[in-house]
Amino acid sequence: MAVAEQVLADLPPACIVPVEYAVAVDRYLSAAHLSTASRRVYKISLTTWCWSLVGQKPPPGRSRRGAAPPVVPLALLDDADAGSRLAAAVADRAAVTDARTVNRELSALRSAVGWWQDQDWISRDPTAGLQHVRLGRADPPPLSDEQLAALWRSGARLREHALWHLLYDSGATVTAVLALDSGDLDLDGNRVKQPAGSGRPIAWSQETSDLLGWLLAGRRHGPVFLTGRRAPARIAARDICPLTGRARMSYRRAAEIFTAHTSALDPAGRGWTLHQLRSARARHLRQGACDRT
């Protein structure tokens, strides 16, 4: 190895200014005091901004994680219009995901930008004028009858149709539905088994019971809704199917799948949210009450 190359190899990473945004992200994460899980989440969040910096929209849902981001020069963060590009990106993200997720992704970018400024890799802060998305902002409208019909006709997997029908029929929260285990279900009674006096149970239609029965295919233990991969070692035993070794589906994953799938049904291409699906049921109940009065 030449002397110059040996000297360069011996320099600490901070002495070499990265040219690419992706390299700067890796350098920031290697210096940050984060757990392995947090570092993974930060990288997904920071990589998402790559598309926005070159005027593109990131792929929807889970496809964003596996997609190759565009090559972005770190110097783009010093451009005068970098802030306006990011502001548009925040608005676009807020239209398809919840406010907490957008704010977390923006906070991750702010932290990285501050560290890059401390290293003198960039001179401007394009996030300086950006505002966090206000929690409790106006919710998007419930899905219409036409949108619901398109959703039920769509070619989603059995798991997704079972989950979406259960959410719509029951009006239960996504968290409560994803927490269900196979042994909790009374498919003959179209509801969740509950002790006497425990309040109104989660209930659904016969069509949804049929979907759940096909999904479980006789499985009587473990979470109802599972991921497509084997669970990592850190997952608690109660959240793992003892037959398949797959993990309980998370809220984030369920939301991403719904928005990604419905982006093809949405004329705007943004996709819909699970909250809009649950809200559609509430709208129908209100309409039914009005029709009876």
pLDDT of residue 45: 86
Query: Are 203 and 212 in contact, with CB atoms under 8 Å apart?
Result: no
pLDDT of residue 57: 78
Rg (CA), the chain: 23
For the chain, give the mean pLDDT: 82
Query: Cα 31–32–35 angle (5° rounding)?
Result: 125
pLDDT > 90 fraction of the chain, expressed in percent and rounded: 30
In this predicted model, what pLDDT tens digit does every residue of 121-130 receive, in sequence order?
998 888 887 8
- Is pLDDT above 70 for 136? no
- Is pLDDT above 70 for 7? no
Element (H, E) at 66: helix 63-66
In this predicted model, what pLDDT tens digit does every residue of 91-132 receive, in sequence order?
887 777 778 888 888 888 988 888 898 888 998 888 887 877
- Is pLDDT above 70 for 10? no
In this predicted model, what pLDDT tens digit does every residue of 142-184 receive, in sequence order?
899 999 999 999 999 999 999 999 999 998 888 889 999 999 9
- Domains of the chain, first to last: 13-118 (no CATH), 145-292 (1.10.443.10)
- 286 confidence band (pLDDT: 50, 70, 90): low
| Contacts of 129-138 spanning 24+ positions with Cβ under 8 A | 129/83, 129/87, 130/83, 130/86, 130/87, 130/90, 130/106, 132/99, 132/102, 132/103, 132/106, 132/107, 133/90, 133/94, 133/99, 133/102, 133/103, 134/99, 135/99, 135/100, 136/99, 137/94, 137/99
- Is pLDDT above 80 for 2? no
| Rounded distance between C-alpha atoms, residue 28 and residue 259, angstroms | 30
In this predicted model, what pLDDT tens digit does every residue of 216-270 receive, in sequence order?
998 889 999 998 888 877 788 889 999 889 989 888 788 888 988 998 898 878 7
